């Protein structure tokens, strides 16, 4: 497998994952805001913090109004992580390695792009937003399903699996970290459960949580579920396992060594304690380790493609 192609596959999967995660996050937030008391301290500004783009936003916009934030997160091409930018990058990447994917993959990614380029503006309006973003999610999932059903579990597949799960684990810790901080003021209010439930919603985990853990969103149980559940595909542990399975199929020992460190960290966590203090530091630690893993993956596999520089640094984790 060519180093350049491996790198493009890895990033393509990250771009698509980020596009979908952002779409899910926006849908969940829009829904939750309707439940919150008017004048609640959580607002669009906080959503920017969740995705780590508050500074980038304010370099371009003055006020974090709903319209401005939605435009920035959904369609603004100046934002390297906007849904549209991610879809566009994923499509450009896919063009460069069409030969390693099943034939329809390119068509479906291209159609996702064509859909995004004609419908993104509609998603700025609350009335159409849910529908358009859901369609983005649906089309992205169709690509994932196609690959899952038609592609050999070769190295190309493993690089996409790596990219998808590094991105997803990052998103999960990010949402957890920031939502928790934002929710602190409501610690003992009537909104307490609602807020933890909204965290689950933002990560599309509410239904599986209810089914496998309980109806009430209890703080330490939510944490254990999102960080350490073996079965839920968006939990950090599940993502780490996926990364582990992908690395098993690839040469090189260093990425696996870094991964083991992260797994023991999650293993040793005391979630009751984290619910009262230290969650921010814990999430920070995981994110730093993910950034480190990302760099080690680059050094191990992609270095041949460009000895001097790491490309796509705009999109790096830290």
Partner 1 sequence: MKIDCGSYPLMGGYDELLEAPGKPRDGAVGLCDYFAGLPADELEARHDAVDAAIMAAGITFTVYSEAGNIDRAWPFDVVPRIIDKTEWDRIEAGLKQRLRALNRFIDDIYHEQRIVRDGVFPAEVLADSKNFREACVGANPPFGVWAHICGTDLVRDGDGTVYVLEDNLRVPSGVSYMLENRQLMKRLFPELFARYDVLPVDDYTAQLYDMLASLSPREGDRPEIAVLTPGIFNSAYFEHSYLAQQMGAHLVEGSDLVVLDDDCVYMKTIEGLTRLDVIYRRIDDDFIDPEVFRADSALGVAGLMRAWKQGKVGIANAPGAGVADDKVVYAYVPDMIRYYLGEEAILPNVPSYLCMHEADRDYVLANLDKLVVKPANESGGYGMLVGPKSTLDEQAKFAELIRDNPRNYMAQPTLSLSTVPTLCEGAIEPRHVDLRPFILQGRDLYVTHGGLTRVALRRGSLVVNSSQGGGSKDTWIVQGVC
Integer-rounded Cα radius of gyration of the chain: 19
Residue-wise over 242-252: b if at least 16 C-beta within 10 A, else e? Answer: bbbebbeebee
Q: State which of residues 36, 305, 310, 317 lies at the interface with partner 1 (CB under 8 A).
A: 305
Comparing CA positions, the residue from 275, 274, 273, 247 lying closest to residue 259 is 247
Among 2, 151, 265, 317, binds partner 1 (CB under 8 A): 2
Please report how close the Cβ of residue 215 comes to partner 1 at its closest, in angstroms: 44
Residue 296 sits in the site that holds partner 1 (CB under 8 A): no
CA distance 306 to 309: 6
Q: Which is nearer to partner 1, 6 or 171 (CB)?
A: 6
Closer CB to partner 1, 7 or 177, in the complex: 7
User: C-beta of 313: minimal distance to partner 1 in Å?
Assistant: 18
Q: Which residues contact 23 (CB under 8 A, 6 or more apart)?
A: 83, 133, 134, 136, 137
Q: Which is nearer to partner 1, 139 or 237 (CB)?
A: 139
Contact residue for partner 1 among 58, 88, 98, 220 (CB under 8 A):
98
Q: Does 4 contact partner 1 by CB under 8 A? A: yes
Residue 306 beta carbon to partner 1: minimum distance, rounded to whole angstroms = 8
Are the C-beta atoms of 113 and 88 separated by less than 8 Å? Answer: yes
Judge whether 226 and 234 are in contact, CB under 8 Å.
yes
One character per residue 47-86, x = contact with partner 1 (rule: CB under 8 A): ----------------------------------------
Task: Judge contact between 293 and 166, C-beta under 8 A.
Answer: yes
- Strand ranges (E), 189-242: none
CB 70 within 8 A of CB 26: yes
- Number of C-beta neighbours around residue 234 at 10 A: 22
Residue of 278, 53, 57, 73 lying closest to 177 (CA atoms):
278
Pick the stretch among 56-64, 167-175, 232-240, 302-310 that binds partner 1 (CB under 8 A). Answer: 302-310
| Among 36, 52, 88, 110, interactor with partner 1 by CB under 8 A | 110
From 26-34, 40-48, 92-100, 284-292, span contacting partner 1 (CB under 8 A): 92-100
Minimum CB separation of residue 260 from partner 1 in Å reads 21
Among 39, 149, 251, 268, binds partner 1 (CB under 8 A): 251
Query: Is 135 a binder of partner 1 (CB under 8 A)?
Result: no
In whole angstroms, give the CA distance from residue 126 to residue 118: 17
Q: Which stretch binds partner 1 (CB under 8 A): 69-77, 118-126, 223-231, 303-311?
A: 303-311
Give the end-to-end CA distance of the chain in Å, rounded to a whole number.
28
- Closest contact distance (angstroms) between CB of 291 and partner 1 is 21
| Residues engaged in binding partner 1 (CB under 8 A) | 1-6, 92, 95-101, 103, 106-107, 110-111, 114, 155, 250-252, 300-302, 304-306
């Amino acid at each position: 497998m060519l180093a350049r192609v491996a790198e493009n596959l890895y990033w393509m999967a990250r771009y698509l994952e980020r596009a979908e995660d952002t779409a899910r996050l926006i849908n969940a937030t829009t829904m939750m805001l309707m439940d919150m008391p008017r004048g609640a301290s959580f607002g669009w500004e906080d959503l920017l913090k969740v995705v780590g783009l508050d500074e980038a936003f304010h370099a371009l916009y003055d006020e974090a109004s709903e319209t401005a934030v939605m435009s920035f997160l959904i369609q603004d091409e100046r934002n390297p992580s906007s849904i549209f930018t991610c879809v566009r990058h994923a499509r450009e990447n896919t063009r460069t390695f069409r030969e390693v994917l099943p034939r329809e993959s390119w068509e479906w990614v291209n159609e996702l792009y064509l859909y995004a380029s004609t419908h993104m503006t509609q998603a700025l309006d609350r009335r159409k937003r849910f529908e358009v973003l859901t369609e983005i999610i649906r089309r992205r999932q169709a690509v994932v399903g196609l690959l899952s059903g038609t592609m050999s579990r070769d190295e190309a597949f493993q690089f996409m699996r790596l990219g998808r799960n590094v991105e997803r684990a990052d998103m999960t810790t990010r949402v957890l970290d920031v939502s928790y901080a934002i929710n602190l003021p409501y610690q003992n209010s009537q909104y307490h459960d609602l807020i933890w439930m909204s965290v689950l919603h933002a990560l599309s985990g509410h239904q599986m949580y209810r089914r496998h853990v309980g109806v009430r969103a209890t703080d330490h149980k939510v944490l254990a579920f999102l960080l350490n559940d073996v079965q839920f595909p968006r939990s950090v542990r599940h993502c780490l396992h996926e990364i582990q399975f992908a690395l098993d199929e690839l040469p090189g020992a260093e990425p696996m060594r870094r991964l083991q460190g992260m797994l023991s960290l999650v293993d040793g966590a005391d979630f009751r304690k984290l619910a009262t203090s230290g969650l921010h530091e814990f999430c920070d630690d995981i994110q730093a380790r993910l950034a480190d893993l990302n760099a080690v993956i680059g050094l191990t596999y992609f270095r041949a493609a460009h000895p001097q520089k790491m490309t796509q640094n705009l999109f790096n984790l830290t």
